[in-house]
Structure 1
Amino acid sequence: MTEEQAALFALMGAFLGLLVWGRLRYDLVAAGTLFVGVAAGLVPEDTAFEGFGHAAVVVIALVFVVSRGLTNSGAVEVLASKISNPDRPLALHIALISGVGAALSAVINNVAALALLMTVDLQTSEKAKRSPALTLMPLSFATILGGMITLIGTPPNIVIAQYRAETLGEPYGMFDFAYVGLVVAVIGILFTALVGWRLIPVRDGQGLRPSAPQSGLYTVEARAAEKGKAVGRTPTDLGDLLEEHDVNLLGLIRGDRRLPGFSRHEEIRAEDVLILEGEPAAIESFMGAAGLDHPAEGEEGDDGKPALPGRLTLAEAIVPEGAWVSGRTASGLRLLSRQGVALLGVSRQGRRFRERVRGLTIRPGDVLLLVGPPERMNDVMSWLGALPLAGRETPVLRREKAAFAALAFLAAVGAAVAGLVSLPVALLGCVGAYALGGLVSGREVYESVEWKAIVLLACLVPVAGALEQAGGTELIATAIVGLTAGWPAWAVLMVLMAVTMTLSDFLNNVATTLIAAPIGLGVAQAIGAPPDPFLMGVAVAASCAFLTPIGHKNNTIIMGPGGYRFADYWRMGLPLELLVLAVAGPTVWWIWG
């Protein structure tokens, strides 16, 4: 081992140790590692920032934006709504939500897929009166498994494809990973649904903590759109839909007159205003399902332009004593025409009121539910003298653009698969279409990117390159070849996958891939085996982080809501990793060897 190799191994060892320690942000650790490498002369200064232009980094950043656009359009909402049934047997629920999670993870970022379905799963668990610990871990593992199916499903696949392009001259295609990934995902989901969830330790009250303090139920007005599902039906007919979304219907307003009572058997007409009661996310979801609009939809501001244009969000704000808005009404303030934000509902300490929302005199202690462009909310709340409730924003989905979002994404994937353009260019075109179509704003393009992950990858690319150039990865490959001397090639592949899988349980999967890919290629060359099974084996193994909550971001996300402890993961994760190894190893060798 040369001095340069020893220094690089020490640098990588410090990097890995700090990641496992977990006290510092991983992007700062990666940036510090790059700085030390350049300062010590281990990483050439002229290559220090090449990682930020690396194709894998660009693709991962664009996937984050595409995921946001698909989520904003509500294109995946229909799938989510079909799996929320508290009366369904637990094993069947896990199989369905895991299957949907895996399918979504194949086409959008797996973190986004989990974030979308986790809310659905938590609501279903609450209605079924069971601990979410039984279902959240299977869901997390399923989204990880589903990411293996396509090139854009998980970062390790993107990194491996680009590494193959750099070393062998041609990258993997969009669906080259499906031959192995689909088999592994199906068998893994069957295991979690039939056996795995039974291995999860569930303590009394685990994950069943009281909900975060709520401001109360809002009284909201929503208008029946001409072609909405609510038109022609009675409030009684909407009972199942109301119950599904946990929303109450308090009455109807026709013209300027509120109909008597709850109007249970009154047929809803276009332009009728429904008085709803519920929490913001539930109301937004119900309005989308029933085809309801905000009463101000289509109105114009003082400048003659639509008063509520483009991307909208729901935001909550409390009215303190002495606030300027206190004693005034939304219509009196001309809130919509002046500020481009409308008052959707009010929560008054659990008390109901019969006044129209826009004509209600605001009092101290009221909590306002405002709808408008996200970038306007802070300014409007400051103008009103109201205090925003942090973390209580609910995006308004653009459901009318769901078909457009899906078609734009499929067109981008099709163009990349057909070889018309490269994948980064195809995804960039999709992002451009989403921006022009109003599915993502310029601000959201940047907000949706997980910049910590981008910095991590971009900083590690030159360090990993330096390690490879110095012969460090070849040294590790030689050690593996020496330990497995005389073994058949498929057995050496299994050893490489087991080592990679173990690393991934404690490191970021991108870091694991950057380290293991050159080792896999070096092992293949040393034993005279084809390189593809070893690169594919690294891609699969680097994605399988099931033993700990720190190996994959999805496992970290569910730790709090599921009430899990660090040691809970291995109980289901270890059998699953062994199963994946037993299935993926032979499958990789059979298809690619």
Structure 2
Amino acid sequence: MSFEIIFVFGLLGLALFLFATDYVSFDVAAIILLVCLLASGILTPEEGFSGASNPATITIAAMFAISEGLRRTGLLNKAGNFFCDKMEDRFWPWLLVMLLFVSFASSFMNNTAVIMIFIPVVIDIANRIGISPSKLLMPLSFAGIFGGISTLIGTSTNLLVSSIVEERGAAGFDMFDFSAMGLVFLGAGFIYMFLYGIKAIPSRRKEEESELTSEFEMAEYLTDLRVKSNSDLIGNVLDTGELTRELDLDVLRIFKSEHDSSAQRSEVKIQEDDLLRIRGSADEIEKLLRREDLAFQPPHEWMDTDLKHGRDALVEAAVAPESSLEGRKLSDIDFGERFGAVPLAIRHHGRLQQEKLGDVKLSGGDAMLLNMSKERIQDLNNDPAFVITSELDVLRPRTEKTPVVLTILALVVGIAALGLAPIVVTAPAGVIAMIITNCISTEEAYTAINWKIIMLLVGVLPLGTAIDKTGAGAMIAETMIILLQDFGPVAIMSGFYLLTTVITSIISTNASVALLAPIAVEVAGQIGVNTEPMVLAVSYAACLTFITPFGHHANTLIYGPGQYEFTDFTKIGLPLNLLFWILATLLIPVVWPL
């Protein structure tokens, strides 16, 4: 075994460690791998940076922007409101129609964007008809995943697999090559969810329409303090930072004594008997009261309206998966300056926390309760790092652009499907057309692109090249063949599906595909079978992962808002994964003969 092969195997181990842990974010991990390959001399600079010019990288970036253009038309919001009205009268038939619509939409745009829009819709539907939103959010996520695997552009994973196959001399996949098996998985998934899955999902989030203050258990963490006549605060504009220095407290609002129901901004001067509404634990409040110029007000039952005076709003927002906030402490983000908001509580990895919020390292799917200005909700909604789950219709839709956006999307898909131009040409052309026609601005297009995924591809794709170049891929392929050759090529394909399922429950879908698809191509070549069924097994298995809330970003999105426990996904997702493994083993060789 040469030094180069040993080095690549070491990098594979490092990759699995970095991608499976929170030691560094996955995009940084990918760049670490790239730097190691370049420094070792295994790859030339041209080979090392080939991931940046890879057709999959360019196409995926373009599809993020096109999806944003469609989102900003408000078309999906209108569809959500339509289903919301219909399901009040006939729930089950219209639930099926809505989930089919989500699957269809996810086939042609980023399914994260679809799920983001429908989360508040589904929560509102559940509250109206009196069932737990948890019962509907998981089916929503699964429906988006089912739809995403049905076309070349439905998920970045399909684009990545097609590019990997092309780089190794085989023909790439066309727009609807994924559709036959995709429809099988979609049909089986819907039957499973409606016969068993929905009934088995625990009712984690309350069934009735409830107060956000109650959902986040804020009763013991909200306090009104009255300014006494001897206070040195009187006559001055309140310096909240000075008042709460070294205390885990936030001053939310100041209520003037002469206006019983009006919340005033902190820029006003303090007067005697003004009320300070404060977030913090009883222990921290006790420390503040050592000043002796503030007095407790009689406690009362806290309602959302207590935090929604005047221009104030109470908003639930989830951290988007693979966003720039992942891994950062809450204290490192200036919510006041950035959004005019104060974090009140956070549901992190399924655990509710109201104290020491600044110490929490954010993860995708974390749900936060924010007290903020209504005028700044739009700023929060425009930030791709957050998904607002409690407010409907916060987007200012560009309805007049809907026909233009749909026409551009149809041309992008149609021209690629007919073979008149590859998707790597039509997708960027579609972005340019949207910018020229003012469907989206240049800034919105750049913001819509998930640069962490792009950097992941830039760093990980060269690792596949190194696996091929050093012969490490051939060694792995020979090992798999030795282990499974007695059972035939179908068993080898099935083994790839199962292996990908396991690895994708630990690391991201694109990372697992970038690592395993080149090996699948190598195995197909060594045993003399068609490449397509081997790599399709990898692609489908990477996308169709339901065992954990972190295996697919759609599941991560609904983790916090649904108030799920980690094991809820295993309970519902494991039988579904096993069902899809069996279907893939039986039917992929039929649709794509070995």
Q: TM-score, normalised by structure 1?
A: 0.69
Q: Within the alignment, does 1:485 sit opposite 2:485 as a pair?
A: yes
Whole-Å separation in 1 of the counterparts to 2:7 and 2:193: 43
CA spacing shift, 1:396–1:387, aligned 2, 3 Å: closer
Letter in 2 for 1:321: E
2:95, 2:589 → 1: CA distance? Answer: 30
1:305-384 alignment, distance < 5 Å = 319-322=265-268, 366=311
Q: Distance in 2 between matches of 1:463 and 1:422?
A: 25
Q: CA distance change for structure 1 residues 558 and 5 in 2, over 3 Å: closer, same or farther?
A: same
Using a 3 Å threshold, how does the CA distance of structure 1 residues 133 and 388 change in structure 2: closer, same or farther?
A: closer
Question: 2:25 is matched with which residue?
Answer: 25
**SS of aligned partner of 2:83:** coil
**Matched letter for residue 186 of structure 1:** G
CA distance in 1, matches of 2:133, 2:19: 29
Which piece of structure 1 moves more, 571-580 or 581-590?
581-590
Please name the residue that 2:111 is paired with: 110
Letter of the structure 2 residue corresponding to residue 427 of structure 1: A
For 1:253-268, list aligned pairs within 5 A.
Answer: none
Q: What secondary structure is seen at the aligned counterpart in 2 of 1:195?
A: helix
Q: Report the alpha carbon displacement of residue 443 of structure 1 after superposing the two structures with TM.
A: 0.8
Identity of aligned residues (%): 28
Query: What residue is the counterpart of 2:68 in the other structure?
Result: 68
- Output the CA distance in 2 between the equivalents of 1:585 and 1:115: 33
Q: Secondary structure of 2:487's partner?
A: coil
* Alpha-carbon distance between aligned partners in 1 of 2:213 and 2:420, rounded to the nearest angstrom: 50
Instruction: Look up the equivalent residue of 1:182 and give its one-letter code.
Output: L
C-alpha contact (below 8 Å) 2:204/2:564 kept by paired residues: no
- Secondary structure in structure 2 of the residue aligned to 1:168: coil
CA deviations on 1:557-584 (whole Å, 9 max, x unpaired) are 1110011122221111111111111112
Aligned to 1:570: 570
Cα distance per residue 1:378-399 (max 9 Å; x no partner): 99x9xxx999566366331011
CA contact (8 A) 2:201 2:568 kept: yes
Secondary structure of 2:88 counterpart:
coil
SS at match of 2:152: coil
SS in 2 for 1:503: helix
Q: Shift in Å at residue 75 of structure 1? A: 2.9
Query: 1:43: how far off?
Result: 3.4
Alpha-carbon distance between aligned partners in 1 of 2:144 and 2:138, rounded to the nearest angstrom:
10
SS at match of 1:68: helix
Q: Hey, what does 2:144 align to over in structure 1?
A: 143
User: What is residue 176 of structure 1 aligned with on the other side?
Assistant: 177
| TM-score, normalised via structure 2 length | 0.69
Corresponding residue for residue 508 of structure 1 = 508
Report Cα offsets for 1:457-514 as digits up to 9, x if no partner: 1111112211221122222211111111221222221111111111111111111111
Is this contact kept in 2: 1:318–1:388, CA < 8 A? no
Q: Partner of 1:495 in structure 2?
A: 495
Measure how far apart 1:40 and its partner are: 3.0
Q: Which residue type is aligned with residue 554 of structure 2? A: N
- Alpha-carbon displacement from aligned partner over 1:57-89 (angstroms, at most 9, x marks no partner): 011101100000011112333432332245366
Instruction: Look up the match of 2:435.
Output: 435
Greater Cα offset, 33-42 or 6-15:
33-42
Other-structure match for 1:526? 526
How has the CA–CA distance of structure 1 residues 318 and 14 changed in structure 2, closer, same or farther, with 3 Å as cutoff? Answer: farther
Distance in 2 of aligned mates of 1:592 and 1:387: 54
* Residues 18-66 of structure 1 deviation map (CA, whole Å, 9 limit, x = unaligned): 2212343211111122222322334333322221111000111011000
Structure 2 CA distance for partners of 1:468 and 1:205, relative to 1, 3 Å: same
Residue pairs, 1:454-473, within 5 angstroms = 454-473=454-473
Distance apart, 1:550 and its partner CA: 1.6
Q: 1:318 to 1:83 in 2, by over 3 A?
A: farther
TM-fit CA distance, 1:535: 1.7
Three-state SS of the structure 1 residue aligned to 2:180 is: helix
Q: Give the deviation of 1:543 after TM superposition.
A: 0.9
**Match for residue 56 of structure 2?**
56
- Deviation string, structure 1 residues 382-424 (Cα, Å, up to 9, x no partner): xxx9995663663310112212211111012111122222212
2:34–2:48 CA contact under 8 A, matched in 1: yes
In the other structure, the counterpart of 2:46 is 46
Give secondary structure in 1 for the equivalent of 2:561.
helix
Match of 2:199 in 1: 198
Q: How many residues align?
A: 444
Deviation at 1:367, TM superposition (A): 5.2
Cα shift at 1:134: 1.3
Quote the residue 2:414 is aligned against.
414
Q: Give the 3 Å change call, closer, same or farther, for CA 37–71 of structure 1 in structure 2.
A: same
Task: Return 101-110 or 483-492, whichever deviates more.
Answer: 483-492
The answer as to whether partners of 2:134 and 2:205 remain within 8 angstroms in 1 is: no
Change (3 A) 1:348 1:554: closer
Residues 149, 175 of structure 1: 8 Å contact kept: yes
What residue is the counterpart of 2:517 in the other structure? Answer: 517
Aligned equivalents of 2:94, 2:504: Cα separation in 1: 29
Task: Provide the C-alpha distance between the structure 2 equivalents of 1:319 and 1:441, rounded to a whole number of angstroms.
Answer: 33
Q: Residues 207 and 87 of structure 1: is their aligned pair in 2 closer, same or farther, counting only changes over 3 Å?
A: closer
Tell whether the 8 Å contact from 2:146 to 2:185 is kept in structure 1 after alignment. yes
- Counterpart of 2:434, as a letter, is Y
Separation in structure 2 between the aligned mates of residue 16 and residue 196 of structure 1, nearest angstrom = 31
What is the one-letter code of the residue matched to 2:537? G
Q: Residues 130 and 208 of structure 2 are in contact (CA less than 8 Å); yes or no, is this contact kept in structure 1?
A: no
> More deviation in 111-120 or 86-95?
86-95
Q: Distance in 2 between matches of 1:589 and 1:195?
A: 28
State the shift of 1:318 in Å.
8.1
User: Which amino acid in structure 2 is aligned with residue 454 of structure 1?
Assistant: I
- The answer as to whether partners of 2:87 and 2:95 remain within 8 angstroms in 1 is no
Contact kept? 2:38, 2:45, Cα under 8 Å: yes
2:28 maps to amino acid: L
Q: Quick check: 2:88–2:125 contact (8 Å CA) kept in 1?
A: no
| Post-superposition offset of 1:528 | 2.0
Change (3 A) 1:208 1:497: farther
Unaligned runs of 5+ in 2: 216-262, 270-304, 314-336, 341-372, 383-393
Cα distance change, pair 200–454 in 1 and its aligned pair in 2 (3 A)? same
1:391 maps to 2:380: yes
Q: Structure 1 CA distance, aligned partners of 2:494 and 2:444? A: 42
Residue matched to 1:161: 162
Which amino acid counterpart does residue 132 of structure 2 have in structure 1? S
CA distance in 2, matches of 1:503, 1:480: 16
Letter in 2 for 1:121: V
Q: Quote the Cα distance in structure 2 between the aligned partners of 1:418 and 1:92.
A: 35
Aligned to 2:2: 2
Give the distance between the partners of 2:23 and 2:211, measured in 1 at CA: 29
Listed as ranges, the matches of 1:541-580 within 5 Å are: 541-580=541-580
Per the alignment, in what secondary structure is the counterpart of residue 396 of structure 1? coil
- CA–CA distance in structure 2, aligned partners of residues 546 and 48 of structure 1: 33
